[in-house]
Amino acid sequence: MALLEIEDLNVTFNTRHGQVTALDSVSMHVNAGETLGVVGESGCGKSITALSVMGLIPMPPGRIAGGSIRLNGEDLVGASDARLRQLRGAEVAMIFQEPMTSLNPVFTVGDQIAEAIILHQNVSRDRAFRDAIALLDRVGIPSPDTRARDYPHQLSGGMRQRVMIAMAVSCRPKVLIADEPTTALDVTVQAQIFDLLNEIQRDFGAAIVLITHDMGAISEMADRVAVMYAGRVIEEARADDVLDHPQHPYARGLISCIPALGKDDDKLREIPGVVPPLHLLGQGCAFAERCDHAQARCLREKPALIDHGHHPAACHAVQEGRI
């Protein structure tokens, strides 16, 4: 049984344009010790999926309109706020994209990590603070006993991200969701953060859901990949299969945008256009307006995510053998 299993998840929001669907029948799963990469452009539904798992969708205006989110077999959809507070941090934790908006500026980082430990473990504040220092040392922050008494603004971006990781793993959660964990960090620090996540996964046996728009990060970290577009999963397979044999035109476009030495030309490629606003989605394929392979059927009929011989992809052109 999967450690985390999302099945047919539908999330809607009330907006000035009326009710829009942010997640449309999203299904994915991740097993213990496995890393699932969730990839796509901004606005594809990656973070909304993560916030749904954490029980952090603002309701209203948001609403989980259908589907299930099972953590160790327990359905989180409809769970009480008290139960979700018990699970957050202890069973499932999240590393947010921007640490400065997630860390409290008026408390030291040691106190903030200690607070998470006290919330879920029956220990004294002194013991929790000592554990916080040990965690800072564990995630590679130098002079952890001194840094534990620093405030977030006194740390570099890379150190703040390490603090977020220390806080997230403080109670050894079974599932760790990392939402763009290396955004705005330089390449060297990015590599260090990925090495740290791999090390923590080996030590704790956690399942990791890595949310990113970076296919390079996917190739480095992920065992399996779910490609999202306009609130739907449009391709899913093992990472090697998606990277080496992408099926959906959008997945092919993402991979062709990866810069690499030795390519025949020196131009950076791009996918023309943008993800359509949710309130403008029609009945057909949401990628049709940006797709070189779109035909009349693509504009009127939404493709299902089914296996066409290699691995599942939601594309009429793949189904019909046109690409």
User: Which tens digits make up the pLDDT trace of 157-207?
Assistant: 889 989 999 999 898 899 999 998 887 678 888 888 888 889 889 888 899
C-alpha 323/C-alpha 318 separation (Å) is 6
Number of H helices, E strands in the chain: 13, 12
- One domain, residues 24 and 114: no
Average pLDDT for 279-294: 92
Instruction: Please check whether residue 315 is in contact with residue 303, taking contact to mean a CB–CB distance below 8 angstroms.
Output: yes
- One domain, residues 48 and 182: yes
Place of tokens 């030291």: 108
Percent of the chain at pLDDT exceeding 90? 66
Mean pLDDT rounded to a whole number for the chain: 91
Look at residue 260 in the predicted model and tell me its pLDDT. Answer: 67
Average pLDDT for 261-290: 82
Examine residue 141 and state whether it is found in any structural domain, yes or no. yes
- DSSP reduced 3-state for 24: strand
C-alpha 154/C-alpha 142 separation (Å) is 14
- Model confidence at 266: pLDDT above 70: no
Look at residue 187 in the predicted model and tell me its pLDDT. Answer: 82
- pTM of the complete model beyond 0.85: yes
- One domain, residues 227 and 143: no
Examine residue 198 and state whether it is found in any structural domain, yes or no. no
- DSSP reduced 3-state for 312: strand
Q: Which residues contact 209 (CB under 8 A, 6 or more apart)?
A: 4, 30, 35, 36, 38, 50, 53, 175, 176, 177, 178
Look at residue 272 in the predicted model and tell me its pLDDT. Answer: 87
Q: pLDDT tens digits for 39-67?
A: 999 889 999 999 999 999 988 899 999 99
What sign for the dihedral angle of Cα 278, 280, 286, 292? negative
Q: How confident is the model at residue 270 (pLDDT cuts 50, 70, 90)?
A: confident
Least Cα distance to 282 among 297, 296, 304, 302 occurs for 302
C-alpha 53/C-alpha 6 separation (Å) is 8
- One domain, residues 299 and 249: yes
Q: Best-predicted range by mean pLDDT among 94-108, 246-260, 269-283, 288-302?
A: 288-302
Look at residue 191 in the predicted model and tell me its pLDDT. Answer: 86
- One domain, residues 73 and 107: no
Average pLDDT for 266-271: 73
Average pLDDT for 132-158: 93
- Model confidence at 269: pLDDT above 80: no
- One domain, residues 133 and 57: no
Examine residue 212 and state whether it is found in any structural domain, yes or no. yes
Question: 245 lies in which domain range?
Answer: 4-91+175-192+205-319
Q: pLDDT tens digits for 206-256?
A: 999 999 988 888 988 999 999 999 999 999 999 999 999 999 999 999 988
